[in-house]
Amino acid sequence: VGFGGSMIWFGSSAGVAVSNIFEEAKSVWDWVSKGWFVILAYVIGFFVLLTIMGWHPPPPHH
């Protein structure tokens, strides 16, 4: 697939097939530069969820 293509598509067979048809799908830089807002939204969403629900880790195993 080339560097990054399988990482972006999580190594799925569909990702390999799509990136073989569309060569531009193999560029990690293109994915990050054109979809930066997805990363930002994910991080913001995580902290909003953490603020609303709080952090409640399970007790340690003995």
Question: Is 62 a member of any domain?
Answer: no
Please write the tens of the pLDDT for every residue from 2-50. 444 445 555 667 777 777 888 877 787 887 888 888 889 989 999 999 9
Domain count, the chain: 1
Give the pLDDT confidence score for residue 12 in this predicted structure: 67
Structure token pair of residue 54: 């709080």
* Band of pLDDT at residue 1, cut at 50, 70 and 90: very low
Residue type, 7: M
Does the structure show a pLDDT above 80 at 59? yes
Question: Is 58 a member of any domain?
Answer: no
Give the pLDDT confidence score for residue 50 in this predicted structure: 96
Helix, strand, coil: what percent of the chain each, to 5?
70, 0, 30
CA 6 – CA 60 distance, rounded (Å): 36
Domain encompassing residue 12: 5-53
pTM above 0.75, yes or no: no
Question: Is 15 a member of any domain?
Answer: yes
Question: Is 22 a member of any domain?
Answer: yes
